[in-house]
């Protein structure tokens, strides 16, 4: 892997005695698409603002390319931000908006003109130089905001929920656009979102945050398939999180029934949380299932049916392309590989446990 470009060391930040970030440690590699993902108030935007230089952490250091930039003002940092509400200068036309950073750096007119052309082409808005920001749609404004940031050739682009204000279709288009841009530009993207689908689609690495702590860092596949705790499992996609007993290696008792699994090393007869994704549950004839239950809800979702099955006192969420009507007795079968075991938090407080790399 390429070297670390940004390192956050023991970053803490609180507002009015409310702790937003607690001793956070994180590094971001060069040319990586990193997404900070979490519910509102988890500290993801604060983290981004600290990297961008709009907030100063109470404790800890921000290392950028080997230099401590904790106290460096925003305008001296070699990174640019795309703001949630675009933040285009309404008193300037598109060309002037894009040229803003370059004019400050006293670049020549021909250089600036070339850069404007290049940037507009990159975001598919050629010929928009003389338009005013107000006359553009939300998606177009967001692309101009991206163009305005990238002409400065930053080493890192910070994106603060840039697609939050766009409608669904546009958001999906922009996701592909962002991936394409990142690949063409070859720079590091740090992306903040609360939308898990967005995070899974675009990221090389996802940092799941909650209540000021990093819950898990990993590739989208790792985060989805092997969530390290109940919060991550619950936040990323739908899941069944069930209180279970880890009997011994490769055997777990879920709701009184014994399931084979592939995990080892959780001890013997230990209380654990088990995560099973709804699409990993196989509904079969009652006699073939590990446990049996009855379908209580059925919704058609297009790609699949969403069903709820009451079995051994737990409402199992099931996604399947096969339909079982409400009231039908079914058996539940799960492939050992699809049973994800997680340690239980030892106390309420530890539910937001910090995961060290």
Partner 1 sequence: MKNKFVKLLSLPYLIWSAGFIIIPLIMVFYYGLTDKSGRLTFANVASITLPVHFKSLIIALLLSLISTVICLLLSYPLAMILASMNKGNNKLMILIFVLPMWMNFLLRTLAWQTLLENEGVINTILQLLHMPTLKIINTPYAIVFGMIYNFLPFMVLPIYNVLCKIDGNLLNAARDLGANEVQTFLKVTLPLSVPGIISGITMVFVPALTTFVISDLLGGSKILLIGNVIEQEFTLNSNWHLGSGLSIVLMLFIIISMIASAVFDKDGEGSAL
Q: Is 149 in the site for partner 1 (CB under 8 A)?
A: yes
Q: Are 252 and 316 in contact (CB under 8 A)?
A: no
Residue tagged 């592909």 (tokens): 176
Spell out the residues 6+ positions from residue 294 whose beta carbon is closer than 8 angstroms to its own. Answer: 309, 310, 311, 327, 328, 329, 330
CA-to-CA separations, 289 to 285, 295, 332, in angstroms, rounded = 7, 14, 5
Stretch that binds partner 1, among 74-82, 242-250, 259-267, 302-310 (CB under 8 A): 74-82
Q: Are 307 and 332 in contact (CB under 8 A)?
A: no
H/E run at residue 264: none
The string of DSSP letters for 39-83 reads STTSSHHHHHHHHHTSS--SEEEEEETTEE-TT--GGGSSEEEE-
**Among positions 15, 89, 111, 118, the unique one binding partner 1 when judged by CB under 8 A:** 89
CA-to-CA separations, 36 to 32, 189, 203, in angstroms, rounded = 12, 11, 10
Q: Is 43 in the site for partner 1 (CB under 8 A)?
A: no
Least Å distance, CB 119 to partner 1, is 13
Q: Which x/- pattern over 210-249 shows residues binding partner 1 (rule: CB under 8 A)?
A: ----------------------------------------
**Among positions 46, 81, 141, 210, the unique one binding partner 1 when judged by CB under 8 A:** 81
Stretch that binds partner 1, among 48-56, 268-276, 310-318, 334-342 (CB under 8 A): 48-56
For partner 1, the binding residues in 101-140 under the rule CB under 8 A are 101, 104-105
**Among positions 70, 152, 196, 239, the unique one binding partner 1 when judged by CB under 8 A:** 152
Least Å distance, CB 16 to partner 1, is 12
Which residues contact partner 1 by CB under 8 A?
52-54, 73-76, 80-81, 83-85, 87-91, 100-101, 104-105, 148-149, 152
């Amino acid at each position: 892997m390429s070297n670390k470009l940004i390192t956050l060391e023991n970053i803490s930040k609180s507002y009015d005695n409310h702790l937003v970030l607690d001793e956070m440690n994180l590094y971001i590699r060069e040319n990586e698409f990193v997404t900070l993902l979490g519910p509102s108030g988890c500290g993801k935007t604060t983290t981004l603002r600290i990297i961008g230089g709009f907030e100063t952490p109470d404790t800890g250091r921000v290392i950028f390319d080997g230099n401590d930039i904790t106290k460096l003002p925003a305008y001296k940092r070699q990174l640019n931000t795309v703001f949630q509400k675009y933040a285009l200068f309404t008193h300037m036309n598109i060309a002037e908006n894009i040229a803003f950073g370059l004019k400050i750096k006293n670049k020549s007119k021909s250089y600036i003109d070339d850069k404007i052309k290049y940037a507009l082409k990159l975001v598919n808005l050629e010929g928009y130089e003389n338009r005013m920001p107000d006359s553009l749609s939300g998606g177009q404004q967001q692309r101009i905001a991206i163009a305005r940031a990238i002409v400065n050739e930053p080493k890192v682009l910070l994106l603060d929920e840039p697609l939050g204000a766009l409608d669904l279709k546009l958001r999906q288009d922009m996701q592909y656009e962002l991936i394409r841009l990142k690949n063409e530009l070859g720079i590091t993207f740090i992306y903040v979102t609360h939308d898990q689908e967005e995070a899974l689609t675009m990221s090389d690495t996802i940092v799941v945050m909650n209540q000021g702590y990093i819950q898990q860092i990993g590739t989208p596949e790792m985060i989805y398939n092997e969530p390290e705790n109940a919060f991550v499992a619950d936040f990323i996609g739908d899941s069944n999180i069930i209180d279970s007993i880890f009997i011994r290696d490769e055997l777990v008792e879920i709701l009184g029934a014994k399931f084979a699994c592939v995990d080892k090393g959780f001890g013997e007869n230990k209380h654990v949380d088990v995560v099973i994704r709804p699409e990993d549950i196989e509904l079969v004839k009652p006699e073939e299932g590990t446990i049996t239950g009855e379908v209580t809800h059925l919704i058609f979702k297009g790609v699949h049916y969403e069903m709820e099955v009451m079995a051994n006192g737990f409402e199992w969420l099931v996604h399947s392309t096969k339909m079982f009507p409400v009231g039908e007795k079914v058996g539940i079968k799960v492939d050992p590989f699809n049973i994800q075991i997680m340690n239980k938090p030892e106390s309420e407080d530890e539910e937001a446990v910090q995961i060290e790399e």
